[in-house]
Structure 1
Amino acid sequence: MNILVTGAGGYIGHALVERLCALTDLPGYGVPARITLCDVKLGELPPDPRVRGIEGSFADSAVLAAITEPAPDLVFHLACVASGRAEEQFDLGLQVNLTGSLQLLERLRQQGKSPGFVFTSSIAVFGAPLPDHVDEQTPAAPALSYGAHKLAMEILLADYTRRGFLRARTVRLPGIVPRPPAPNGAWSAFSSTLIRSLAAGQSCTMPVGPDATLWLMSRTCCIDNLLNAAWLATQAPGEKTAWTLPALHVSVREIVAAFDARGDGTASARVCYAPEPAIEAQFGSQPPLSTPAACAAGFRHDGNLQTLLDHAAQTL
């Protein structure tokens, strides 16, 4: 069984690959025989003979041909140009997030193997301003090019699945924390900065106010959900191929208070606020979230803020 992971060198991709290498059996697929990793930079590869790494952009035709030979049975498509960077570099965002991704779908269609396909979409499909409550009937209305690219891919993947070209399952990720500091252009990265800084006893400045509300999930929980999506790709699709993942709904103030309670009570004094309206509107004004269909499909959040912070501490 052949697995392909795009964006394998990223924060989520690296942890997913570690988990895949540790599995002796992937439910619905069997024993992974080959795990192909692709990213512009991969770093050190896991010491596993099944792993092969190919550096470069999957949107490059030569790289695309290499990573899809032999044809994969399961694809985790994580690679993207993130929110702020896609706004600032429109051509690059379009090339990677949409044009390159469509080329990947076409390559898989032409191979005729109908692989499982797990796609990481984003809560950016909802845009801003958000309604007072978001549920599984809330219409997508992206306000960023990044969100538009993700929504377009959701629609294409549903159609390719309907036609039997592949078996796609899409998950809309909330903020995954704590990401390491990296110039990836993600405007939602401030939540990771907050957790990482307070865990290290350092000061930080937030581009949102203390009452900003967020949808958050730990990387550990995220990987659990990606593997659940892979298992769902072995089942009959039903009416739903895309889910907004359950997430903890917390405020910046609550996160800071949790660190005050965990330490010597000085976390609050280490946080400054300099709200940026565009970032606060898109990623700091997230209302209560209800996802019963996602929960029924086996997706989960971390349970509570303390557990999320415990999971986060394992990655710092």
Structure 2
Amino acid sequence: MHVLITGAAGFLGRALAQRLMPGRPLGRRAVGQLTLMDLAFERAAGAGVCQRAIDMGDATALRAALAERPPIDLLFHLASVPGGTAEQHYELARRVNLDATQTLLEQGRQQVVRGGAAPVFVFASSIAVFGTMPAKVDDDTPARPQLSYGAHKLVGEVLVNDFSRRGWVDGRSVRIPGVLARPPERTGQLSAFLSDLIRELAAGRPFTCPTSPQATTWASSLPCVVEQLLHAARFDPALIGGERVLTLPTLRFAMAELAQAVGRVHGTPVDDLVRWAPDARIEALFGRFPPLRTARAQAAGFRGDADLEALVRGALAPPEPPGQGA
């Protein structure tokens, strides 16, 4: 099986790639070749892995790189220009978030036109599609994005559905919440403070949180989201009526509850370390998340972190060793 991951040098992409090294099982098949795409890579690839340093916003270069590879069996499209950066750099975000998604989907269409099989296309969407949320969110809540990033993800979902309807890809779009804990380097994500809170308090360092203690959000640990992406590649949408857009199960919690969970797991005096300094914009974007029901995804076999302590442990867990299976 040939697997392609875009955004493979990113926080989530690196963790997913570790689980999909050649020879690993995924469902009833094994990974034979793994192609990784991103702007740059820090280290050389192992046997059976092809790294392609490429600007996903360069449609000509992307089409050429895809033409060089064997037919794709499974594609994880993780590459994106996220929230804050997308707001500041409209043209870059459009090229990466919209045009590259279209180019990748067209690759599936061309593969089918040539007589090949439609690739499984796992699209990393985002809870940013919801924008300002009602008193509760469930599978029937309409998407009303308030940032370009969320609008781009919603367009991607529509395209994945349409290409799937035509039989050109076997698509599934998964709306991913905050993923913790991201590395300290900045990538333009306005929600980075959540990862900083866990990292700093776990290390016993003081932290100023840009929300109130009672602000509520949704988030999952990195290992949890990797497992959800792998499940997205394996499950059959026909089992849930052919639905191809799913909001992933995640935890809802107050910021003070997250801080206390860090203290319990890591044994640090968080009450003495954390200072609350609400920022109106951050609180509006990330501190007013309502109760969430993800019945459709749960019926399809998706699972979230068991509790906040499990999230905190997973958030700072070392990468899984290569010997573990997918």
Checking the alignment, whether the CA contact within 8 Å between 1:158 and 1:168 is kept in structure 2 is yes
Partner of 1:32: 31
Counterpart selection for 2:126 from 99, 107, 122? 122
Checking the alignment, whether the CA contact within 8 Å between 2:262 and 2:312 is kept in structure 1 is no
Give the superposition deviation at 1:233. 5.5
Partner of 1:76: 76
Give the superposition deviation at 1:117. 0.5
Question: Is 1:51 the equivalent of 2:49?
Answer: yes
Q: What SS class does the counterpart of residue 135 from structure 2 fall into?
A: coil
Partner of 2:86: 86
Checking the alignment, whether the CA contact within 8 Å between 1:121 and 1:170 is kept in structure 2 is yes
Give the superposition deviation at 1:237. 7.5
Distance 1:138 1:96, change over 3 A: same
| Aligned mates of 2:267, 2:83 — CA distance in 1 | 36
Could you give the per-residue CA deviations for residues 22-49 of structure 1, whole angstroms, max 9, x where no partner exists?
A: 7632114x121110000012211453x1
Question: Is 1:140 the equivalent of 2:138?
Answer: no
| Aligned mates of 1:262, 1:110 — CA distance in 2 | 50
Give the superposition deviation at 1:219. 0.7
Matched AA of 2:209? M
TM-score (norm 2): 0.91
Aligned residues: 313
Could you give the per-residue CA deviations for residues 149-199 of structure 1, whole angstroms, max 9, x where no partner exists?
A: 000100111011011010011110011000001221111111111111111
| Aligned mates of 2:211, 2:318 — CA distance in 1 | 24
Give the superposition deviation at 1:84. 0.6
Partner of 2:324: none
Partner of 1:63: 62
| Aligned mates of 1:46, 1:66 — CA distance in 2 | 17
Matched AA of 1:42? F
Checking the alignment, whether the CA contact within 8 Å between 1:36 and 1:67 is kept in structure 2 is no
Distance 1:263 1:98, change over 3 A: closer
Question: Is 1:229 the equivalent of 2:227?
Answer: no
Q: What SS class does the counterpart of residue 187 from structure 1 fall into?
A: coil
Give the superposition deviation at 1:204. 1.9
Partner of 1:291: 294
Give the superposition deviation at 1:269. 2.2
Q: What SS class does the counterpart of residue 224 from structure 1 fall into?
A: helix
* Residues 72-221 of structure 1: pairs in structure 2 closer than 5 A: 72-112=72-112, 113-128=117-132, 130-221=133-224
Partner of 2:256: 253
Could you give the per-residue CA deviations for residues 208-255 of structure 1, whole angstroms, max 9, x where no partner exists?
A: 111111111111110110011001268677331010000011111001
| Aligned mates of 2:296, 2:216 — CA distance in 1 | 23
Distance 1:315 1:131, change over 3 A: farther
Checking the alignment, whether the CA contact within 8 Å between 1:116 and 1:233 is kept in structure 2 is no
Q: What SS class does the counterpart of residue 20 from structure 1 fall into?
A: coil
Give the superposition deviation at 1:51. 0.5
Matched AA of 1:279? I
Checking the alignment, whether the CA contact within 8 Å between 1:169 and 1:233 is kept in structure 2 is no
Partner of 2:270: 267
| Aligned mates of 1:151, 1:99 — CA distance in 2 | 14
Checking the alignment, whether the CA contact within 8 Å between 2:97 and 2:152 is kept in structure 1 is yes
Q: What SS class does the counterpart of residue 54 from structure 1 fall into?
A: strand
Q: C-alpha root-mean-square deviation of aligned residues, in Å?
A: 1.8
Matched AA of 1:312? A
Give the superposition deviation at 1:65. 2.3
Q: What SS class does the counterpart of residue 97 from structure 1 fall into?
A: helix
Taking only the aligned residue pairs, the percentage that are identical comes to 43
Checking the alignment, whether the CA contact within 8 Å between 2:240 and 2:300 is kept in structure 1 is no
Question: Is 1:305 the equivalent of 2:308?
Answer: yes
Matched AA of 1:246? P
Matched AA of 2:127? I
